[in-house]
Every structure is written in C-alpha cells, then in structure tokens.
Amino acid sequence: MAEQPFLRATGLTKNFGNVAAVNNIEFDVSRGEVLTLLGPSGCGKTTTLRMIAGFEKPDGGEIEVEGTPVVSISKRILLAPEKREMGMVFQSYAIWPHLNVFENVAYPLRVRRIKGNVVQDKVESVLSLVGLDGLEDRPALLLSGGQQQRVALARALIYSPKILLLDEPLSNLDAKLREQMRVELKALQRRLSITVVFVTHDQVEAMTLSDRLAVMNHGQIEQLAAPHEVYTNPATSFVQEFLGRVIWMQGCVMQRESERMVVGLDGEAGVQIQCPATEFSPKSGESVVVAVRPEEVSVGKVKEGEGFNQVPCEVDTAVFLGDRYECHLRFGPMSFTLYTSVGEFFSSGQKVFVNLPENAVRVWRKNEAGQPVSH
Ligand code: ATP
C-alpha cells in the first residue's frame, strides 16, 4: 500500500478582495521530501505557505498532516500555528534585534515554558547544527546577513518541527553567500531528513534544492513534478518560459497526424518544422508558437538533407565570452540568442542554419497578440 502523504492540501483557496491569491490548489508532500513552490511575484506562494503555517485562514479547502486535518473549512477546524508543529523561516528572518543569538534561538522553547537546562542543551546543539557555535552571546544586531539567516533557521529547528517552511530564506544574501547557504541548507535537510516546503522565485534554487516543484501562476499550480521533468517536459508555455531560456518562433500548422505535425514558420516560405504532435489539436492553418530550448539546437554553415527543421538565419553579432560565443541571430523579424563553442566561429552578417531536433520542439497555442498561451 502506498504511504499516505505527510502533508496534503486539497481545494486550498484564498481571496483578498477580488484577488484570487490562491485558487483551489492541491498538492501533497511525502515524509522527508522537499517540495518547492516556484513562481513569479504575486502568484500566491507566500499565501500558500502562510496557510500551511496557520498565519492565514483559507477561504476554502483542507490541509492535513499525517492524515489529521490542521485546517478544514468545511469541518470548521483551524489549528493555531503553535499547535501545528511547523518551523518557519521568513524572508526577513524576523529575529529579535534586542536579544542575543542564544535568546533568539531559545525563544520558541521559552514560550513553551521548557526548563532551563533543556533549553541550554537544545540551543547548543541546534547552533552547532547551523554552524553558529561560540556566538551564543553575540547581540543579533551585530550579526552578518548569513549569520542572521542561520539564527532564523536554528530557531525554526529548535523544537524539532514536523515540517520546515522556508519563505525565500536566501533572497537577502549576496550571490556568493546565497550559493554557499544553498549547499548547506540541502546538506542540513538531508542530515535531518526533514520535510520541507520551500518558497522561491529563483529557478536555480528551486532546481537544486527540491525533490519536486510546484510551478505556480495566478494562484494556480501549472505543473507539479520533479525538476528534470518540469524542465524537459513542461506542461504549459508558462512553465517552459519560467524555467530556463526559450527560443520562440511564430508559425502555422501545415499538417497534423496522430504522432507528428509539420509547422511552417512565418518569416520565410518553405521553412518547415517537424515535431511531435501536441496534446491540443490545432487545425491545419492554425497559427501557433514554436518553442525550443537554445541548448538543444545546433548551428551549421550548410543545409543538410531534406532541410526540415533547419532555420536559415543571419548572424547579427557574435560576442566572444572566453569559454563560448554569444551569437545574436535573426530569422525574418524574429531574433534570438544562442551560445556556441569556441571552436565554431561565426561572424556578423554570416548566413547559418539553426537545426532544431524534432523531439526538442514544442508547439503552443497563441493568443491574438502572438503570445503563447497555456492550455
Ligand atoms: P512574492 O514572491 O512577491 O512574495 P507570492 O507569490 O508570494 O509573491 P503572495 O504574497 O502570496 O504572492 O500574494 C498573492 C496575491 O495576493 C498578490 O496579488 C498579493 O498582492 C495578494 N495579497 C497577498 N497578501 C495580501 C493581503 N494581506 N492583502 C491583500 N492582498 C494580498
């Protein structure tokens, strides 16, 4: 029998006035798993996390931990945050400036009236876990950004929460420290085997820290899957664009069979792209958007074979970056950027062919403005 999810949210909904901040979402998290809520600003990540923590009351839906509801709107259950056994780290860290490191970390235990010697032992062990041993007496105001982040993490971990909720905990750190803390956070999560719900708008953080990603947009989850699956097999054009770079081209369906289709690209007659058939069923003649990741394509100087999937382009500029070239290419009114290895030199004005591997091409519906639309 499959193990029941450790954390499960169903029909979770929150409106602020007429803004549907979170719109009927569903997800579950297994014990020891890291699930990341990823998406642009305002898509509902923080509101979702706050509903899990108990700081925000949903308008509808249910959240269960180990099969027991901590909130259920229909059953009128709403457990207070401190009864949910969850630790949360906020983007701002929210540590007390007038307390030293020890008292900041001890705070959740003091609130729970735990005895002094137990507090001492627990604080020492959790400070060592996050690499802050010896800093017990340091006033919080005299800590660096990275140290404050560790204090916030230690405080969230001190009462061994069932679930750790992290709201953009690395976003106030500079790039180098951020990278270091990302690695440390992953190592700590593995060591403790703790279940984590992580919120970020940073795709690198999401890809490196998560077992699965829930990509959110306008209060809804557009895709929930492992990072590799989300990147290589995006469910919507939004997901494809949000995770990584994309070359977009406009075209028109010429032929559609059950497995494959042919799209004629706008911009030059006779440039045809063969690709797997999409899940939606565009009619012959329907305008669509063709998308491919730049790292999937190759650039050649001559046309090969029958010429399918080869887009004749002109090199606008090719900039030497040391380890590779950054090539700005133009095809009709469309332009895009590619990276080529230092062995392949291309110069401005040169004609080249960009080869799109058949299985790397995705086709999306487009709206009246020519933008891809999720379906
Ligand atoms: P960010 O990455 O910028 O923090 P987010 O994805 O976490 O964004 P939320 O903070 O959950 O998004 O906000 C979702 C939507 O709900 C936004 O439109 C936001 O303006 C709105 N919202 C959030 N909290 C409130 C509130 N307390 N009152 C009114 N509107 C709110």
Percent of the chain with pLDDT strictly greater than 90: 65
Partnered with residue 364 across adjacent β-strands are: 289
In ligand 1, the atom with minimum distance to the C-alpha of 49 is 11
Closest CA to 202 of 234, 161, 168: 168
pTM of the model: 0.90
Q: How confident is the model at residue 2 (pLDDT cuts 50, 70, 90)?
A: low
Nearest Cα residue to atom 26 of ligand 1: 16
Question: 147 CA distance to ligand 1 centroid (A)?
Answer: 28
Nearest Cα residue to atom 19 of ligand 1: 42
- As a whole number of angstroms, the distance between CA 209 and CA 189 comes to 9
Amino acid identity at 309: N
Nearest Cα residue to atom 25 of ligand 1: 16
- As a whole number of angstroms, the distance between CA 199 and CA 176 comes to 20
Determine the average pLDDT of the residues in 303-332: 89
Determine the average pLDDT of the residues in 250-279: 89
Question: 224 CA distance to ligand 1 centroid (A)?
Answer: 21
The pLDDT of residue 375 is above 70: no
Determine the average pLDDT of the residues in 170-176: 82
Summarize pLDDT for 176-218 with one digit per residue, the tens: 888 888 898 899 899 999 999 999 999 999 999 999 999 999 9
Higher pLDDT residue, 302 or 250?
Answer: 250
Please, are residues 313 and 294 in contact by the beta-carbon 8 Å criterion?
Answer: no
Contact partners, residue 102, CB within 8 Å, separation at least 6: 123, 127, 136, 137
For the stretch 68-72, contacts whose Cβ atoms lie closer than 8 Å and that sit 24 or more positions apart, written own/partner, are none
Place of tokens 């070239």: 325
In ligand 1, the atom with minimum distance to the C-alpha of 91 is 4
Q: CB neighbours (10 Å) of residue 190?
A: 11
The pLDDT of residue 374 is above 70: no
Summarize pLDDT for 118-130 with one digit per residue, the tens: 899 999 999 998 8
Looking at residue 39, its pLDDT comes to 95
Amino acid identity at 70: V
DSSP 240: H
In ligand 1, the atom with minimum distance to the C-alpha of 39 is 6
Looking at residue 372, its pLDDT comes to 73
* CA 225-231-235 angle, 5° bins: 65
Nearest Cα residue to atom 11 of ligand 1: 44
- As a whole number of angstroms, the distance between CA 85 and CA 21 comes to 25
Pocket-forming residues, ligand 1, beta carbon under 6 Å: 16, 19, 21, 39, 41-47, 201
Q: How confident is the model at residue 1 (pLDDT cuts 50, 70, 90)?
A: low
Summarize pLDDT for 224-257 with one digit per residue, the tens: 999 999 999 999 999 999 999 999 999 999 988 8
- Residue 24: which region, alpha, beta or left (left: phi > 0; alpha: psi -120 to 50)? left
Closest CA to 126 of 167, 88, 155, 162: 155
The pLDDT of residue 57 is above 70: yes
Query: For residue 302, what are the CA distances in angstroms to 193, 307, 314?
Result: 53, 10, 13
The pLDDT of residue 169 is above 90: no
Closest CA to 29 of 66, 71, 78: 66
Question: 171 CA distance to ligand 1 centroid (A)?
Answer: 17
Nearest Cα residue to atom 3 of ligand 1: 41
Contact partners, residue 207, CB within 8 Å, separation at least 6: 213, 227, 231, 243
Cα R_g (the chain), whole angstroms: 25
Lowest average pLDDT, out of 18-32, 284-298, 330-344, goes to 330-344
Lowest average pLDDT, out of 26-30, 49-53, 112-116, 347-351, goes to 112-116
Determine the average pLDDT of the residues in 89-113: 89
Q: How confident is the model at residue 42 (pLDDT cuts 50, 70, 90)?
A: very high
Kind of pairing, strands 287-292 and 324-331? unpaired
Which among 46, 90, 92 is the best mutation to test ligand 1's pocket, defined by most ligand atoms within 8 Å of the CB?
46
